[in-house]
Chain A
Amino acid sequence: MYEIDPDRLDLAREFKACIYGRHSGELQRVLNRMRGGANAGRFVIVCTKRHREWVLARMGQRAGDPLEPVPGYFFGSEEEAEWVVFKLRWRELTGRELPIE
């Protein structure tokens, strides 16, 4: 299993600069680790105002379970949500806060 190096802040900066599109091989490994695996607890977004607002949620433990809302997160774009979830996953997977706003 690939482990994310919490000192590689350059990879986080690379992602923030280019959310979608070509990434370095090492950043792609980080993203694969974050996006892969089972669905249980996966961060997802829910559209509350078409094309204007999304909120954060996590998937349930089993297929078919309802989403569990994660209160306090409102996004004005998918890119904004991607960056916030990247930071949340960074903390969960490395045990460290990502010191980049």
Chain B
Amino acid sequence: MTLAIVGYADRMSVRPGDTLKVMVSCETGAASYRAQLVRLVCGDDSPNGPGYKERPVEHSINGTYPGRRQRINAGSYVVVPASPLLESVTSFTLQALIWPTTPGRGAQTLLSRWDATRQAGYALQIDEAGALALRLGDGHKHEIFSTGAPLDARVWYRVSASFDAETRAVRVSQQRLRERARDPSAAMLEATTRVVPSVPTQTPFLMAAHGAGEQVGRLVTGGHYNGKIEAPRLVRQALAPGDTGEPVAAWDFAREIPGDDIVDVSGHGLDGVAVNLPARAMKGHLWNGEVHRWSEKPEHYAAIHFHDDDLYDAGWETDFELAIPSDMKSGVYAVKLTAGEPREDGGHEGFVTFFVLPPKGKTTAPVAFLASTATYMAYANSHHGWDDPLSEITYGSLLEFTPTSLFLNARREFGVSTYDVHTDGSGSCYSSRLRPILNTRPKYSLWNFNADLHIIDWLEASGQAYDVITDEALQAEGPALLKRYRAIVTGTHPEYHTRRMLEAIDGYLQGGGRLMYLGGNGFYWRIAFHPEKPGVIEVRRGESGTRTWIAEAGEYYLSFTGEMSGLWRASGWSSHKLVGISFGSEGFDVSSYYRRRPGSFDPRATFIFEGVGADEKIGDFGAVGGGAAGLELDIVDPRLGTPPHTLVLASSENHSNVYLMTPEELISTYPGLDGIEDSRVRADMVFFETPNGGAVFSTGSIAWAGSLGHNGYANNVARITGNVLRRLLDPAPL
């Protein structure tokens, strides 16, 4: 049931005149594949929804291409290019502080100039048994010298290994930094080797991996290490354990934390580069709780945490380039890829999705749909269900796997989302879009991207002209992106924001802009885009919130920017201030409906409920769980910032036992927190005016958009949404 074809593009947001590079891999050996540009209208192919709709677009890229398989080399490492200085080293000592997380789970390389294809060079490793070992090879024969004492996981060790070219003496040593009684893991081995390591010319010095050949001009690595490394050193002589010596290179990971640069502080200029986004701003052996912000005391954050499934850029060769015509309508698009015979499970199709914005500085419609591309990235290639034992009990339904989810489980090199833990159990704090992202596509579960297409579908059905803009463009362009629009419409789940994004939206609203927040759990996590590297975000899941992992103590601050991450609520910016409501509860079995509240009868809200009866259930239908109020629900809280003049228009009710309050709403645990017993398990629909004639309308439910298409778009959810949009597009002040 593997997928026949996958692909990605170098960008997710483009404008007319831009060019998109598209990379493709045929995973089942198809000799050729077909590409077709389509504009996406509705991705919901379920029998309960408005129906799948794509619009073929004429373009020169449409056609048949030769198929090939492209590989991903996942796993993070540091590479220091080969140099005459490195070549001149014969006798050596390798030293480092390490905090291994998976000793005993396969051989893992810590520091190396080792070429696995030739079995030549040297490598300091953790061996199959979890013990420190030095591997030496001359291309014909190799030897491994192991301490034989398995290392404990998640403990700091000082490790070293030396080789004396004259005497052929080898010494390997591992010692806990903090002693413990009955410690069997302290060990030292002294031996003599028959092998004089011979390092092939041009072999780089690697950390957390070793070289394993080349593919399409790119280094292939193997032996990836899971865990932290701090203060690695290379010394040009065989030292006794504890001696420091004069280093050839000494790398300080506390330098240049936000980027990829790895600084050699020995004065010899053997600087390196971190590849595939190992976690930086990780606390090192000195960390003692004195500081929590890495920028205050970088020396306490001198460790890098490497993972064997880290991935930044898949680096595939380009199959074709897609020029965006000057007259291309702003919208949601995909290159639809098909390979092999049609399959009833849909595995013969792949979609490379992207967004076409209007020409820069222009609008082509009075309203813009703000695609939640930061959220799509946060969930990219999520392994929900596979690794989290709480998934089924949280969903309240059987775990259901599709060809895509089976593929992601089997092919871990496609990388993880920020919802996953790495293979060593540590949280994944980065997510990149420079890889095939298999869950941001139509004909998939009604969540994030595919659920958001319900809004596009409704705009199209309404005949409403719209532009599409994106989170990533908002980050890049700031307030200028929004200011020309009369109204902005969000997606169903705009969950992740940087400070710049929030400030842009807030500034827009303060200046008279109008916002329709058609979702739930919005404006929740504080993230950063990398200031220089394209297409990657970072989040640290701090002390509270609904989380699938929790950041380690002392690691709540973003490596990209030095800002605290976690919930925006913890940074004084609860979404109550911005949109009147904030996340309160979630459940995933069935959705429910809203009832009108007194605020809906206020004259200020008359326009919202035109054509809606006083006692009507609102949204007791829909493609997402059968109701408009479902999945994740938001509620008002004046103490946390809901503006005093907010009108609570409607609230949902009758949620199930599976709906439960989010942890940040609880000061302790206690019985009675579900949808039956806790009245806070509900969605609040609200409206309030903003200065200078603007306004905010919020629905507080991820499922809302799934009800828009019910009964041919003739229903009270579509009516309310249409009433609001029509008024917000009227320039008269609210």
Q: A44-B399, A48-B344, A49-B345 are in contact. Are A66 and B410 (CB under 8 A)?
A: yes
Q: A20-B590, A22-B656 are in contact. Are A42 and B345 (CB under 8 A)?
A: no
B389 CB–A CB distance under 8 Å: yes
Nearest Cβ in chain B — how far from A20, in angstroms?
4
B residues less than 8 Å from A35 (CB atoms): 392-393, 396
Residue of A at shortest CB range from B402?
A: A47
- The 8 Å CB contact of A63, one of B46, B47, B386, is B386
B443 CB–A CB distance under 8 Å: yes
> How many inter-chain contacts with C-beta < 8 Å in the A-B complex?
90
A40 to B402, CA, bound (A): 19
CB interface residues, B 639-663, toward A, < 8 Å: 654, 656-657
| 1/0 contact string of A14-54 vs chain B (CB within 8 Å) | 00000011110100100110011111001111111111111
A54 to B399, CA, bound (A): 11
B residues less than 8 Å from A51 (CB atoms): 45-47
A42 to B400, CA, bound (A): 12
A50 to B402, CA, bound (A): 9
A residues less than 8 Å from B385 (CB atoms): 44
A residues less than 8 Å from B657 (CB atoms): 22-23, 25, 28
Residue pair B346, A32 in contact (C-beta under 8 Å): no
Q: A22-B676, A35-B392 are in contact. Are A64 and B397 (CB under 8 A)?
A: no
Nearest Cβ in chain B — how far from A57, in angstroms?
8
- The 8 Å CB contact of B387, one of A20, A49, A63, is A63
Residue of A at shortest CB range from B676?
A: A22
Residue pair A23, B409 in contact (C-beta under 8 Å): no
B216 CB–A CB distance under 8 Å: no
B406 CB–A CB distance under 8 Å: yes
A40 to B406, CA, bound (A): 16
CB interface residues, B 380-436, toward A, < 8 Å: 385-387, 389, 392-393, 396-403, 406, 409-410, 412, 423
B127 CB–A CB distance under 8 Å: no
Most chain A CB atoms below 10 A, which of B1, B45, B386, B387: B386
- The 8 Å CB contact of B406, one of A36, A39, A67, A82, is A67
Residue pair A50, B399 in contact (C-beta under 8 Å): no
A78 CB–B CB distance under 8 Å: yes
Nearest Cβ in chain A — how far from B239, in angstroms?
40
Residue pair B389, A38 in contact (C-beta under 8 Å): yes
Residue pair A44, B344 in contact (C-beta under 8 Å): no
Residue of B at shortest CB range from A33?
A: B393
A98 CB–B CB distance under 8 Å: no
A residues less than 8 Å from B676 (CB atoms): 22
A4 CB–B CB distance under 8 Å: no
B residues less than 8 Å from A45 (CB atoms): 398-401
Nearest Cβ in chain A — how far from B388, in angstroms?
8
A28 to B654, CA, bound (A): 16
Residue pair B656, A23 in contact (C-beta under 8 Å): yes
B residues less than 8 Å from A53 (CB atoms): 344
Residue of B at shortest CB range from A36?
A: B393
Residue pair B654, A44 in contact (C-beta under 8 Å): no
A residues less than 8 Å from B345 (CB atoms): 47-50
Q: A20-B590, A44-B385, A46-B406 are in contact. List 8 more A-B contacts (CB 8 A).
A: A20-B589, A20-B656, A42-B389, A44-B398, A51-B46, A63-B387, A64-B412, A67-B406
Closest 3 CB pairs of A and B: A35-B393, A49-B344, A44-B399
Chain B interfacial positions (CB closer than 8 Å to A): 1, 45-47, 344-346, 385-387, 389, 392-393, 396-403, 406, 409-410, 412, 423, 443, 589-590, 654, 656-657, 675-676
Chain A interfacial positions (CB closer than 8 Å to B): 20-23, 25, 28, 31-32, 35-39, 42-54, 57, 59, 63-64, 66-67, 78, 81-82, 85
A-B contact pairs, 6 of them (CB 8 A): A42-B399, A44-B400, A45-B400, A47-B400, A48-B1, A48-B344
